[in-house]
Amino acid sequence: MRLILPTHDNVYRHLAAESYFLKHAEEPILMLWFSSPSIVCGKHQNLGAEVDYRLCRERNIHLARRISGGGTVYHDLGNLNFSFIQALPEGLEKAIDYKRYLEPMRQALRALGIDTTYSYKDDLLLNNLKISGNAQHIDQRRKWALHHGTLLYSADLGNLSAALHTRGHYEGKGIASRPSPVVNIQDAIQCTWSPEEFRSRLAQPFKDQFGYVEQAISSSESREIEEITQNSLQTEAWILGYSPSYSHSRTYELNGQTCEIKLSTERGIVASFSIDCHGREPWKEQTQACVGKPLSEALLAEIFDSTEWASEQTFLEFI
């Protein structure tokens, strides 16, 4: 069994590594990893309905989409992520089984003096507050599972709260997250370990009790992972375009006037778009130029470059 402790903090490469190993691993893998501030939504979620998109850009919080379902989570260097990737011993009959992976994690945490319980959704709780959200994805052809989760150790909970909040109204088929009260492990147990020390301590029981052997990602594996990163998981076509079809509306103040923004998408393509300011549509030419094109930051920046909406990247309000 292989233990991977990556040294980089690129969320897209971590997610790509999960995808790669799910398809190609030949032995069970546990990866314990950190990423720079990031929001990661579930495969079937509408990203815009989960986050304050503009705030994330202003605070340099990366936006990503993973291959598993479930809700949106926040990562930063105070949040330790874990990924179990392994074959399903009984095939697909009992493929979705959170406790198969969470029980070993609970044992490892208990070895550090951290006693957790389960929520009704199989999140991990510490003092009845959430420290870990989890999701799974099954490769039905190979009969392998990816189970991944978060461990809030010393995360910036202010960033978490501000980023996981949308200011618009969304309607669609996307699966909405259900926020829960959270706590950092460091605060709950009053310890002084750094996040890196916490990871090292947590890794030890997996080596001693479960037989994991630490092994870095090879150069050939890195090349494959980088290709997945660049061609798939870091693209706007995946991050924004994969969102389920939805309609979005919000009001916005610009130059002293209140404008109502309405936008709808179908499979990532702008289906309709209008900006109404008390019965006038001063940017009708621009909104119509977006219709029929994939919704992206680059598209909005180009179309609204010569308008008042470009002054402070106000067009980010449209997503």
Per mean pLDDT, which range of 151-155, 258-262, 310-314 is the poorest? 310-314
What is the per-residue pLDDT for 311? 67
Residue 31: the pLDDT is 98
Beta bridge partners of 169: 249
Confidence band (pLDDT; 50, 70, 90) for 242? confident
Cβ atoms of residues 285 and 306 within 8 Å: no
pLDDT band per the 50, 70, 90 thresholds, residue 48: confident
Cβ contacts of residue 87 below 8 Å, gap of 6+? 28, 142, 143, 144, 145
Tell me: pLDDT of 53 over 90.
Answer: no
69 secondary structure, DSSP code = -
The band of 175, judged by pLDDT with boundaries at 50, 70 and 90, is low
Q: Is the Cβ–Cβ distance between 228 and 15 less than 8 Å?
A: no
71 band by pLDDT with thresholds 50, 70 and 90: confident
- Bigger pLDDT: 166 or 41? 41
**Rounded average pLDDT over 22-26:** 95
pLDDT at residue 93, rounded to an integer: 64
pTM assigned to the model: 0.89
Q: Are 246 and 267 in contact (CB under 8 A)?
A: no
- Residue 179's pLDDT is 59
pLDDT in tens, 189-229: 999 999 999 999 999 999 999 999 999 999 999 999 999 99
Residues 9, 77: Cα–Cα separation, whole Å: 8
Other CB atoms closer than 10 Å to residue 92's CB: what's the count? 11
What's the pLDDT band for 90 if we cut at 50, 70, 90?
confident
The separation between CA 170 and the C-alpha centre of its own chain, rounded to angstroms, equals 19
Residue 315 reports pLDDT greater than 90: no
Per-residue pLDDT for 98 more than 70? yes
- Paired tokens of 13: 């490469």
Whether the CB-CB separation of 152 and 79 falls below 8 Å is answered with yes
- Share the mean pLDDT of the chain: 89
Average pLDDT estimate for 233-257: 86
- What's residue 197's pLDDT? 97
Which pLDDT does position 173 carry in this prediction? 55
Q: Look at residue 163 in the predicted model and tell me its pLDDT.
A: 87
pLDDT digits (tens, 9 = 90+) for 262-294: 999 988 899 999 999 888 888 899 999 999 999
Domains of the chain and any CATH numbers? 2-239 (3.30.930.10), 246-318 (3.30.390.50)
Please report the pLDDT score of residue 151 as a whole number: 96
Q: State the pLDDT at residue 317.
A: 76
- What does the pLDDT read at residue 92? 63
- pLDDT over 70 at 91, yes or no: no
